[in-house]
Chain A
Amino acid sequence: MTERQKAWKYIFARYDLYLMLLLPLAWYAVFQYGPMYGLQIAFRDFNPAFGFLGSEWVGFENFERFFSSYYFGRLLWNTFLISVLSLLIAFPIPIVLALLINEIRNTTLKKTLQNVTYMPHFISVVVIVGMLDLFLNPDGGFINIILGSFGIEPIPFMEKPEWFKTLFISSNIWQSMGWQSIIYVASLAGIDPQLYEAAKMDGASRLQRIIHVSLPGIFPVIIIMLILDIGQFMNVGFEKILLMQNNLNLESSDVIQTFVYRNGILNGDYSYSAAIGLFNSLINFFLLILINRYARKKAETSLW
């Protein structure tokens, strides 16, 4: 019996399981890969009257238009900067929070802290931005009232480009740190207590136990989360940015996705926005592959 025949026999023996597999495969084909043929409109001058295949083929014209746009540099820079800052600042905070929660022995306090920090996750983006508007308002927002009591002039936070990234990232942290820490708390709970006991016997301090037992214990999870995050690198929180945007802060708040929304969806310029979106996805795709390869080599943890 050849290898192939063996394989077929093996499959045939469990044919019912393989039949079940057909369904998810069909789902992927129809809903995940099928729509990809629409990507070709990035290379066409799309007109719905002629459909995806009938519209005129323009090659890289849409890409060239984007690359030569006045805003190209700014869009790329803002997208990149918001992503990098989020990664550097917002990524480690849930880990620190999880380690902190893990160290708390008082169960009531622990539960309260966990609840309080993950609750904001459930507030909708629109409400969050509304709250920001309200709290940071130069006339009568409470942040400015507090600043005023120290003799500081009111700052129109939402109008200043230099404040945008700070506000965006810090409100993101506030909203999501509790939620994201859950997975770390869970994996910390999975660390063998004997390891802590042993470390204690060896005279390790609390901090040393965190550094030498807790952190290495959750390291694979951290790497996986990091890789997943990087796969979304260029997809910054689009809805929230759009809501926070105004003419005055556009300089630092305009990112590729909001540009796509304005030019593509609102103006009906589908081909142009498809081209920009494709460019965005390609960056994500290559970053994901790079970081995964790097993680596999260096940290011996990876997605595939």
Chain B
Amino acid sequence: MSKTFWHVLLFVLSMVVMTGCNGSKEVTDQVSEGPSETFNEEGFPIVDDEITLNIFSRKSPPNGAYEDMLMFQEYEKMTNVNIEWDDVPQDGFAERKNLEFSSGELPDVFYKSSISQLEAVKYGSSGILIPLEGLLEDHAPNITALFEEYPEIKSSITAPDGHIYALPAILTLNAARTDKIWINQTWLDHLGLEQPTTPEELVEVLTAFRDDDPNGNGKQDEIPLTFRNWSQLMNSMIGSWGMVDQMGNHLMVENDKIKFWMTSDRFKEYLQFLNKLYSENLLDRGVFTQEEAKFVGNMAAGNVGVFWNQTTDAFDKVKEHFEGISPIAGPYGDQLVPSSPVARDFGTFAITSENEYPHETIRWLDYFFGEEGSIFFRYGVEGETFTFGEDGLPEYTDDILNSDMGSGPAIGQFTPWPGGGAPQLVTEKNASAINPPKAQEAQSKLDPYLPEAIYGTPIFDEDTTKEVDQIRQDMDQYYEETTSKFITGDMNFDQWDEYVSTIENMGLDRLTEIYQEAYDLNYK
């Protein structure tokens, strides 16, 4: 080789060494330092001398700019904790979050950032995210009290190394954890039909919606049945075939035994039912391809027969036409309602090793998990954005509820909770917006059918996480793709065995084993 070549190589190598050194980072234990000198253990302000935190956060479509949010502005005055927000729009958020982690220029706090279990373990054990359990014990009476009341929360967010690296949203209100089933009662009345209670009756009703022109405009333009997306479709009626998601995956727990149901015969029957709906044009064909905005538009327009949604805010103007119903009873009499666990939205809040004020930060957050603070978080300032009703519960002002931009976005201008995934506490006392009388009534139709327990997604140690992740990357994609095809008829049920064996070959047994271990460890 020529000399020039070696010169170039030497140059490149020296570049590698130079830049490489900057990349590596000392892992240090940041929590060992105490709080700042002017820190107050109780009451406000949290610190006497102003401090500044740099917070990275997701901005959902209904949210305004974080620094303009009335609630946070008021909170800054109360606490002396000044926040510099880095609010990133939902589109492309995942990429930005990953960049934030890998660039080495960390914010002080990840807020409403959907930190996954994998991220919590990976970045927690390597020192990027700091353990929170000690801080919680010392400075977070509200969160600690919730942990005591709902012990499953703590076990579902504790990593196998015993540390808590991220905090969830806590929803003690059932209605905040389910999608209600809405049916167009006006259409039913118009056609003289009863609310469906079985799959056969549902098909009958939907067929009438499709053919008999229930909106009376002389055109067959009704959408009998629609869904937000593929995953909502899959979840919607699966409880009627006796299955719901547990531990954040497609499995059931029976007598302390884990069973994945993706390959079960019952699941096949459920798919056959969905296939029937699809092939008879009862199911909105757009489910597999449409953008979410279209679904929301369909709800708001009200030209739909049956759909699933948590609450009525998306179709406020036509809500009088709809009524909540109980889940249909499947062929074996099952009527389960899928629901998320009390600790929903894992990873809404995490503190990084860059943070110089972890004690102050936890106190800052804890307020929102108390009764007063959670109302402040979700409702803002009394007299300005909400008032207390006669029943003593907070209600948004009429200006906000009747806002031209819609109530969701109007609320999203002064608090970050609309759009989901924020660290928050949702109870009966602070949920009038997502739980108006109409939704409460619909929820009462579901309550008898909620599973006894909903287990949260477990956290595995790093090696297991990696293994689970590798199995699931392939398996989830195959599952999603193949079930879609079974439903649309692109794949024939003759190929069911092939589907089952493929899933099994991808490592289903190993996955069952891992989840069984996690169950035994966390929930038994």
Find chain B residues with CB under 8 A from A229 CB.
none
Interface residues on B, range: 35 or more
CB neighbours of B189 from chain A (8 A): none
Give the distance in Å from the alpha carbon of A269 to the alpha carbon of B119 in the complex: 10
- Cα A65 to Cα B473 in complex, Å, equals 12
- Contact among A54, A69, A70, A138 with B24 in the assembled complex (CB-CB below 8 Å): A54
| Structural contact, A50 and B126, CB atoms closer than 8 A | yes
B78 CB to nearest A CB, Å:
35
Residues in B whose Cβ lies below 8 Å from that of A269: 469, 473
- The yes or no answer to A59 lying at the interface (CB within 8 A) is no
A69 with B474: CB separation less than 8 A: yes
Task: Flag if A156 contacts B285 (CB, 8 Å).
Answer: yes
Q: How far is the CB of B465 from chain A (nearest CB, A)?
A: 11
CB-contacts of A130-163 with B (<8 A): 133, 138-139, 156, 158-161
Q: Is B478 an interface residue (CB 8 A)?
A: yes
Chain A interface size, under 10 / 10 to 19 / 20 to 34 / 35 or more: 35 or more
With the chains together, A158 CA to B480 CA distance in Å? 17
Which chain A residues in 38-57 approach chain B with CB under 8 Å?
A: 47-54
Neighbour of B95 across the interface among A36, A50, A71, A266, CB < 8 A: A266
Residue of B whose beta carbon sits closest to that of A130: B291
Residues of A within 8 A of B488 (CB): 159, 248
Q: Does A92 lie at the interface of the complex (its beta carbon under 8 Å from any beta carbon of B)?
A: no
Q: Does B289 contact A (CB under 8 A)?
A: yes
B43 contacts chain A at the CB level, 8 A cutoff: no
Which has the most chain A C-beta neighbours within 10 Å: B20, B230, B289, B481?
B289
Most chain B C-beta atoms within 10 Å of own C-beta, residue among A50, A161, A248: A248
Q: How far is the CA of A50 from the CA of B82 in the complex (A)?
A: 31
How close is B128's CB to chain A, nearest CB, in angstroms? 5
Chain B residues positioned under 8 Å from A160 (CB to CB) = 490
A104 within 8 A of partner (CB) = no
B5 at the interface (CB under 8 A from A): no
Chain B residues whose C-beta falls within 8 Å of the C-beta of A34 in the assembled complex: 12, 15, 19
* Residues 228 to 258 of chain A near chain B (Cβ within 8 Å): 246-248, 250-251
The interface bits of chain B over 18-30 (1 if a CB of A lies within 8 angstroms of the residue's CB, else 0) are 0111111101000
Contact with B along A156-197 (1 / 0, CB 8 A): 101111000000000000000000000000000000000000
Name B's A-contacting residues (CB within 8 A).
Answer: 11-12, 15-16, 19-25, 27, 94-95, 98, 101-104, 118-119, 122-123, 126-128, 230, 285, 288-289, 469-470, 473-474, 477-478, 480-481, 484-485, 488, 490, 502, 506
Q: List 11 A-B contacts (CB under 8 A).
A: A37-B16, A50-B24, A51-B25, A54-B23, A158-B289, A247-B481, A247-B485, A250-B477, A267-B469, A268-B102, A268-B119
